[in-house]
Structure formats: structure tokens, C-alpha cells
């Protein structure tokens, strides 16, 4: 007689239990009926397991939730080298309808609206799910790297009084009868917090009322922001960026090993020193004379960095002040350029960062030069009158990072429940 254990074993742990009676719980991922035998694939948080049923069985619809007791039996043909035999099956929760496509097929169908409209169930597809595991591992690596470097996590307001920073593209809000706006970034707050903690980071939602319906823009995305003081210039920020990217990749490598395999993702190598190219040199190389890089330029420079340095990462430094926000530190001796950078990764801008102004007078001058009023920035500007060190920072969009890493064309597919011009649900 077999004594069943009270507690559950996960799919990934089954190989350690060969010969034992176990309980597995999970979703009916797939049911296949052959002549004299049927197979169930059960999905749980750790992976898939195979259950063999001899004789007939009237299976519930796929995605039903099952509790199965049986014996772990070695079988070289089965996933993980084991399968459950002699099962007793209990239906914990019977599915009433089938997903819009078979979740067990290797690929997600190309019909984007179907995938997104039914995200409440399509996210259960192992590939879509795996991308979210990459995201979780990445953000974990971001935080732990910065923790190790003496940064402190902060939480700043997502509703603000003035539509400042980037001017347009803000969502307007009714705040107890007053006009307010959703924050486009924690930029001002993270700079203020350098005065408190020297080194801070925030991981949280930001909002852009992007009227464009592109594959790389979202109206809400997860911004990974860092800012720190006592830097020499933007080169110190770039050194930290390199550490953070390496830490994120290391975290993905160790925390999402199975998912990397499933998605067939090759993790990029991070050079000890990421190559860099000044914006002026980039223009010469591209044979252009402009103040910004077009998407095609980013792709060309990225390809050049792979060829020249074997690096999938490239810093473009010194962007023209004309295209950078007012708080950017101009390049010493060359003030039409700036102490700022973008990090290109696999043909796309991934990170933007730089050194900021830190003297109160420099802020007043910068706003005056741009013909901007001071009042909307009052408490932010005030910070610099109290003494602030030279500082800088950077920001990275989590969804865009995962899209590049996993080779996904549309950033909506790396977001659980995307928000855009048209989409407010699920």
C-alpha cells in the first residue's frame, strides 16, 4: 500500500523523488489521448510534468486545475526524465472555456490583438510567462547591484502639480477639484534625494501620453532610475551603468536559466569597459550633421560597435544641449554639447543619462536662456540653493530592455497589461 505525502512536490523537484508517491498540483497544460494510454502535461510554477494514464479517462478542459497523486517513475522520454504513473486525479477547479489559442504550442500566434485582449489567460503561455520572469530577474539585479554600491531605494509622487519636465505628453487629472498631472519620470525627486542619501534609486511606473502608436512606446512603463552625487562627470555615471547592466545580466543568468533556454536567448557579454563614441564623431561616421540620432543611425552605430569592438553595447556621449533637458551639464569648453550619454543595445537606445547641473545659479541661467518660467520648478530649484554636490544618473525602461534581450519586436508583448493610445484593459 502506498502512503501519499501530505505536501506537494513541484514539477522541477520530481527527479529527486523517483520511486516515491507524491502529490503534484497545477494546470492541465495539455491532454493527449492515444489508443491505450493518455498523457497529461501539468504546468506549475516550476515547469511541466507528465502524467501517464492507462485505460480511458474523460479529461476536463485544458487549463483546469488538478491535484494528482501518483508514483514518480523514471522515463528517459519524458520531460525531466520522469513521469507520474498510477495517478489519482482530483479536479480542483474545472475550466469552463478554452483559451483563444492552444497554450501548449511552442509559438505565440502573431495576432497581437488576440494575445493582448486576452492577457488574463494568454500570459500563461510559457513564452510570454518566461519574458516576465526575465523582467523580474532583471529588476532584482538592478536593485541588488545598487544596494551593493550604497544606494537607497526611494518612492516618489506619481501625481504632480505642474506639467514641467518634458512639457507635452502628460496625462491630466482631477485632484480633489484641482488640476494635476501624472509624473513622466522621477527625475526632479531623485535629484532632490541625492541631497538626502547621496545615492538613490527608484523602480516604478511612469506615464507618457504618447499620441504615437509605435512598437516601442507605452503610455505606462516601468522606469528603473538611479541618481548619485560626488561624481567627477558623466563618465562616473557610465561606470555605474556598466556595473548595473552586468548585475542585471548576472541575475537573469542565475534566476531565469530555464526561461533563457526556452526563449533561446543568448545573453550579451558586457565588456569591462563599454566602448564609447562622442556625438560629433558619430555624426562624422554617419556622414550627417544633425542634433539627434534617428532609429536607423542607432542601428548603424550599434552594428559598427559589434564589428569594431565585438560589443553589443555602445555609449554615445556628448549629445547636443539643444536636445537635452535644461538640467543637463554642458560639456566643459564645448557648451553646445553636453556631459550626457545614451547607451545603445542591439540597435536601440536603452539608457539615457548624464551629469546634471548642481549650482542654483546655473539652473536659473539655464531656465532664463530657454525662456522658461521659474515658478513651476520652485521647490526643485530651491534644493540647489541648499547645497548640492556634482551629481548625475540614468534611467532605463524595463519593458524595452526585456524586448531587446528576448528579441521581441513589440514592447507591448513584454508588458503584462499594456496601456497605450487605444488600450485601457484588461
Chain centre distance of CA 96: 33
User: Closest Cα partner for 11 from 52, 41, 55?
Assistant: 41
Pairing, β 152-153 against β 199-207: parallel
Site for a second copy in 18-77 (CB under 8 A): 25, 27-28, 44-46, 61, 63-65
The helix (H) or strand (E) run that includes residue 82 is strand 82-93
For the bound state, the minimum distance from the C-beta of residue 152 to a second copy, rounded and expressed in Å, comes to: 5
Using the structure block, give the residue that is written with the C-alpha cell 505606462: 220
Q: Which of 127, 278, 299, 360 binds a second copy (CB under 8 A)?
A: 360
Buried b (16+ CB within 10 A) or exposed e, 158-186: eebebbbbeeeebbeeeeeeeebbbbbbb
**Does 176 interact with a second copy (rule: CB under 8 A)?**
yes
**Does 239 interact with a second copy (rule: CB under 8 A)?**
no
Cα dihedral value 64, 66, 71, 76, nearest 10: 30
**Does 424 interact with a second copy (rule: CB under 8 A)?**
yes
Q: Which of 47, 70, 87, 140 binds a second copy (CB under 8 A)?
A: 140
Which C-beta is closer to a second copy: that of 318 or that of 390?
A: 390
Pairing, β 172-175 against β 65-74: unpaired
**Does 380 interact with a second copy (rule: CB under 8 A)?**
yes
- Going by the annotation, the residues of the binding site are 165, 208-210, 216-218, 349, 352, 356, 397-400
For the bound state, the minimum distance from the C-beta of residue 3 to a second copy, rounded and expressed in Å, comes to: 20
Site for a second copy in 278-307 (CB under 8 A): none
Site for a second copy in 206-235 (CB under 8 A): 207, 209, 211, 219-220, 222, 230
Q: Which of 172, 266, 292, 409 binds a second copy (CB under 8 A)?
A: 172
User: Phi and psi dihedrals of 147, rounded to 5?
Assistant: -55, -45
Task: Identify each DSSP E strand in 34-77 by its residue range.
Answer: 37-44, 47-54, 65-74
Q: Which of 288, 385, 407, 409 binds a second copy (CB under 8 A)?
A: 385
End-to-end CA distance of the chain: 49
Site for a second copy in 320-359 (CB under 8 A): 358-359
Site for a second copy in 67-96 (CB under 8 A): 92-96
Q: Which of 4, 32, 155, 285 binds a second copy (CB under 8 A)?
A: 155
Instruction: Read off the C-alpha cell for 164.
Output: 514641467
Which C-beta is closer to a second copy: that of 112 or that of 136?
A: 136
Site for a second copy in 97-126 (CB under 8 A): 97, 99, 118-121, 123-124
- Going by the annotation, the residues of the binding site for ATP are 208-210, 216-218, 349, 397-400
**Does 13 interact with a second copy (rule: CB under 8 A)?**
no
Contact 32, 42 (CB under 8 A): no
Instruction: Read off the C-alpha cell for 112.
Output: 497581437
For the bound state, the minimum distance from the C-beta of residue 415 to a second copy, rounded and expressed in Å, comes to: 8
* Calpha distance 191→201 (Å, rounded): 10
Which C-beta is closer to a second copy: that of 302 or that of 355?
A: 355
Amino acid at each position: 500500500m502506498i502512503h501519499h505525502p501530505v505536501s506537494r512536490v513541484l514539477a522541477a523537484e520530481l527527479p529527486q523523488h523517483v520511486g516515491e508517491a507524491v502529490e503534484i498540483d497545477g494546470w492541465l497544460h495539455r491532454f493527449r489521448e492515444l489508443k491505450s494510454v493518455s498523457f497529461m502535461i501539468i504546468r506549475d510554477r516550476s515547469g511541466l510534468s507528465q502524467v501517464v494514464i492507462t485505460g480511458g479517462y474523460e479529461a476536463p478542459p485544458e487549463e483546469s486545475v488538478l491535484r494528482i497523486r501518483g508514483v514518480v517513475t523514471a522515463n528517459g522520454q519524458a520531460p525531466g526524465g520522469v513521469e507520474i504513473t498510477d495517478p489519482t486525479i482530483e479536479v480542483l477547479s474545472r475550466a469552463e472555456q478554452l483559451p483563444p489559442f492552444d497554450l501548449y504550442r511552442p509559438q505565440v500566434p502573431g495576432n497581437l490583438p488576440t494575445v493582448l485582449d486576452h492577457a488574463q489567460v494568454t500570459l500563461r503561455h510559457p513564452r510570454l510567462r518566461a519574458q516576465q520572469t526575465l523582467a523580474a530577474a532583471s529588476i532584482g539585479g538592478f536593485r541588488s547591484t545598487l544596494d551593493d554600491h550604497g544606494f537607497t531605494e526611494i518612492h516618489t509622487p506619481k501625481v504632480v502639480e505642474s506639467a514641467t519636465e518634458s512639457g507635452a505628453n502628460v496625462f491630466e487629472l482631477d485632484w480633489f477639484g484641482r488640476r494635476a498631472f501624472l509624473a513622466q519620470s522621477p527625475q526632479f525627486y531623485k535629484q532632490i534625494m541625492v541631497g538626502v542619501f547621496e545615492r538613490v534609486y527608484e523602480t516604478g511606473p511612469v506615464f507618457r501620453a504618447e499620441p504615437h502608436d509605435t512598437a516601442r512606446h507605452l503610455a505606462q512603463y516601468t522606469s528603473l532610475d538611479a541618481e548619485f552625487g560626488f561624481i567627477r562627470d558623466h563618465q562616473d555615471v557610465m561606470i555605474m551603468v556598466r556595473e548595473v547592466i552586468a548585475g542585471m545580466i548576472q541575475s537573469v543568468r542565475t534566476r531565469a536559466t530555464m526561461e533563457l533556454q526556452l526563449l533561446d536567448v543568448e545573453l550579451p557579454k558586457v565588456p569591462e569597459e563599454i566602448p564609447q563614441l562622442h556625438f560629433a564623431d558619430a555624426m562624422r561616421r554617419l556622414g550627417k550633421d544633425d542634433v539627434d540620432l534617428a532609429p536607423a543611425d542607432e542601428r548603424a552605430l550599434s552594428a559598427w560597435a559589434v564589428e569594431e569592438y565585438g560589443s553589443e553595447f555602445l555609449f554615445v556621449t556628448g549629445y547636443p544641449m539643444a536636445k537635452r533637458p535644461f538640467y543637463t551639464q554642458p560639456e566643459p569648453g564645448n557648451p553646445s554639447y553636453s556631459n550626457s550619454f545614451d547607451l545603445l543595445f542591439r540597435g536601440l537606445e536603452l539608457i539615457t543619462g548624464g551629469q546634471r547641473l548642481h549650482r542654483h545659479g546655473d539652473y536659473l541661467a539655464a531656465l532664463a536662456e530657454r525662456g522658461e518660467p521659474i515658478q513651476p520648478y520652485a521647490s526643485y530649484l530651491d534644493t540647489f540653493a541648499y547645497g548640492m554636490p556634482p551629481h548625475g544618473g540614468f534611467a532605463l525602461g524595463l519593458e524595452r530592455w526585456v524586448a531587446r534581450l528576448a528579441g521581441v519586436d513589440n514592447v507591448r508583448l513584454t508588458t503584462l497589461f499594456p496601456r497605450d493610445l487605444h488600450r485601457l484593459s484588461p
